[in-house]
Amino acid sequence: MSTPLAPLLVEAKQLESLLGNKKLLVIDVSRPQVYRHYHIPGAIHLDYTQIIRFSPPTGGLLPSSEQFNRLMSAIGLTPNTHVVAYDDEGGGNAARLLWTLEAFGHKHVSLLNGGLHSWANEGHPLSNNPVFPEPQPYQALFKGYNVADQAYILEHLDNPNVQFLDARSRAEFNGSEAYSKRSGHIPGAIHFKWSIGLDPTKNLRFRSKDEISTLLLSRGIEPEQEVIVYCQTHHRSALSWFMLKYLDYAKVRGYPGSWSDWGNSDNTPIETDPQTEHD
């Protein structure tokens, strides 16, 4: 197996030194109008809607293998390509792309720490020239070891070695705000809002590992557990998945569809009682 070009969480200075490397593919998952205005030189653009699938009322599902392989072929991905992803909205879009790549077995991925915020605000080069990749044949098989569906969660609800992390807002968690037929949270889930690990004073970079670990442990989310993260569609919680992976949590799964799946089902158990922890 080839050596990764960059660490899992890459800084802007590190990435700038790698631009132009033929084994590197920088993917911008920002809003299309932002990409048209400015982006990292050489970065290609993917619209977030291209990497998810809808089956109303459930959103944020995994793409089919056919959809995924067609898209990856179109952007010129190869098994040895190192993907660095970023966006303009805090990392959820980019992390969802990386989670999807891992679900299909792609090995070498990185998230740009702070995304477009850190890159643009700290004076790194920008371009408004669109990049059109050269297609390559790409064929990956779904692995799914970082995925938990509704059946998997129901099977592990009473497993003391499995913890559920709810990355939504406090109001969504408590059930006072609903975007599905039913409101509340998965029984036993711990609320840990997706943005807690980000530092707004440092261009939305992650806080230090020690700081985030302290916050997680204070809520009972421990590295020895398998942690299943979810939000409304597994967009916000994709960043939570990445955060735990970055902190070396060995067993982390994301729930595609998330509450849009669980809350729109008739027979899934739900809790609505609040917790006392701060966001």
pLDDT tens digit string along 74-115?
Answer: 999 999 999 999 999 999 999 999 999 999 999 999 999 999
Share of the chain above pLDDT 90, in %: 95
> Looking at the DSSP assignment, which residues form a beta bridge with residue 251?
226
The single residue listed with the structure tokens 């970023």 is 86
With a threshold of 0.85, does the pTM exceed it? yes
Measured in degrees and rounded to the nearest 5, phi and psi for residue 118 equal -70, -40
Nearest to 26 by CA among 112, 96, 99: 112
CA distances, 164 to each of 69, 70, 218 (Å): 30, 33, 15
- H/E stretch holding 13: helix 12-18
Residue 206 has pLDDT above 70, yes or no: yes
Calculate the CA dihedral of residues 9, 12, 16, 22 and round it to 10 degrees: 30
Helix/strand/coil for 45:
strand
Instruction: Tell me which DSSP letter residue 39 carries.
Output: B
Give the confidence band of 274 by pLDDT, cuts at 50, 70, 90.
low
Q: For residues 64 and 102, what is the distance between their CA atoms, to the nearest angstrom?
A: 14
> Looking at the DSSP assignment, which residues form a beta bridge with residue 85?
27, 111
Give the confidence band of 4 by pLDDT, cuts at 50, 70, 90.
confident
Burial of residue 53 (number of CB atoms within 10 Å: 0-12, 13-18, 19+): middle
Residue 2 has pLDDT above 80, yes or no: no
Q: What is the mean pLDDT of the chain?
A: 95
Contacts of 225 (CB under 8 A, 6+ apart): 161, 162, 163, 251
Q: For residues 155 and 181, what is the distance between their CA atoms, to the nearest angstrom?
A: 23
Instruction: State mean pLDDT over 241-270.
Output: 97
Q: List domains and CATH numbers for the chain.
A: 9-121 (3.40.250.10), 150-262 (3.40.250.10)
For residue 145, the model assigns a pLDDT of 96
The crossing angle, in degrees rounded to 10, of helices 92-103 and 236-246 is: 70
Query: Which one from 15, 52, 186, 231 is the annotated catalytic residue?
Result: 231
| Single-letter residue type at 76 | G
Burial of residue 247 (number of CB atoms within 10 Å: 0-12, 13-18, 19+): middle
For residue 273, the model assigns a pLDDT of 73
| Single-letter residue type at 12 | A
CA quadruple 21, 27, 30, 33: dihedral sign: positive
Q: Is 231 part of the annotated catalytic residue set?
A: yes
